Amino acid sequence: MIKMVATDIDGTILKYDFEFSPAVKKCIKNLTNKGIKVVLVTGRMHNAAACLADELGLKTPVVSYQGGLIKENCENGKIYYQKTLDENKAKEIINWAKQNNVHINLYMDDVLYVENDNEAIKKYTCERFIKYRVCDFNSLEIKNVNKILAIKYDDAETVTLWRDYLSEKYPDLYIVKSTPYFCEISDKGARKSCAVEYLCKEWGIKKDEVFVIGDQDNDIELLKSGGIKVAMGNATEELKSCADYVTETVENDGFVKAVEKYVFNAK
């Protein structure tokens, strides 16, 4: 029997126009009405995910920063779990980005900082309805870094090269592509699997009682934490290879179809 549904957001339950379909909203409401815990597990910052949890009527803690933060979805909410980047390694990566003209989003204490008010940050924040601060990173005290996100919207191949280079240089960090154009850099403990496993222990839920679903390579860790592992029809090939089942695309309510098959109609 499924007791928890742990789901990615973007490309899984949130469509490419950044809207939830009525079917997804109804499905999540039905899950919560049945007493099944629905947890959003995302690479987004907490503030950018909490508003979506509100829209869905969820009261469960939100997992953000790839699993680096588990926090109650309310003002001054309780922090259950937090893993931040080593300060020295964060400074090294910031310097690498400067030297190589790489745009990065720097997240500290759930605040988004950038050095250049360019098209990359405008596109990123406009799509997610979040605020950011522009400043010289040298003026900041680099601490409590939730993650660093390197972005290049027009060149997925270069983003892959960044991931491979940084992964080799920093094997003790968690470095992954969350979309073809995003390279995420965070603490090794900031993984979706770590967060789901923490909540399972907190709530006394077994692994085989967890339904997990996602669409990108950063959801490989999410799939590791569940008993029923589902990849979206629009998922990467690598994620599909880790799944028990591949559902329809996000535009065709693949999440809803998978929940109906494996949660509502499970024998």
Q: What is the DSSP string of 100-142?
A: TT-EEEEEETTEEEES---HHHHHHHHHHT---EE--GGGS--
Q: How many other CB atoms are there within 10 angstroms of residue 127's CB atom?
A: 12
Q: Is 60 exceeded by the pLDDT of residue 267?
A: no
Per-residue confidence at 119, pLDDT binned at 50, 70, 90? confident
Let me know whether 160 and 116 are in one domain. yes
* pLDDT tens-digit readout, 159-200: 999 999 999 999 999 999 999 999 999 999 999 999 999 999
Residues 6+ away with beta carbon under 8 Å from 160:
177
Let me know whether 108 and 136 are in one domain. yes
For residue 128, report the phi and psi dihedrals to the nearest 5 degrees.
-110, 0
Per-residue confidence at 235, pLDDT binned at 50, 70, 90? very high
The predicted model gives 254-261 an average pLDDT of 98
Give the residue from 163, 187, 211 where a domain finishes.
187
- pLDDT for 266: 66
Alpha carbon 114 to chain centroid distance? 20
Let me know whether 26 and 75 are in one domain. yes
pTM across the whole model: 0.93
Let me know whether 73 and 91 are in one domain. no
Give the residue from 158, 187, 216 where a domain finishes.
187
User: Structurally, how many domains does the chain consist of?
Assistant: 2
CATH code of the domain covering residue 58: 3.40.50.1000
Let me know whether 164 and 35 are in one domain. no
Let me know whether 170 and 213 are in one domain. no
Instruction: State the DSSP H helix or E strand holding residue 178, giving kind and residue range, or none if neither.
Output: strand 173-179
The predicted model gives 203-231 an average pLDDT of 97
Q: Using the structure block, give the residue that is written with the tokens 């959003």.
A: 40
Give the residue from 187, 218, 253 where a domain finishes.
187
d(CA 110, CA 37): 25
Provide the residue range defining the domain that includes 117: 87-187
Let me know whether 142 and 157 are in one domain. yes
Let me know whether 199 and 109 are in one domain. no
Let me know whether 257 and 202 are in one domain. yes
Of the candidate ranges 18-32, 85-99, 128-142, the one whose mean pLDDT is the lowest: 128-142
**CA-only gyration radius of the chain, Å:** 18
CATH code of the domain covering residue 132: 3.30.1240.10
Q: Which amino acid is at 145?
A: V
Q: Is 60 exceeded by the pLDDT of residue 233?
A: yes
d(CA 256, CA 107): 32
Q: Which residues pair with 81 in a beta bridge?
A: 70
Let me know whether 68 and 102 are in one domain. no
Residues 6+ away with beta carbon under 8 Å from 222:
6, 8, 41, 192, 193, 196, 212, 213, 214
Let me know whether 175 and 124 are in one domain. yes
d(CA 141, CA 41): 28
Let me know whether 62 and 107 are in one domain. no
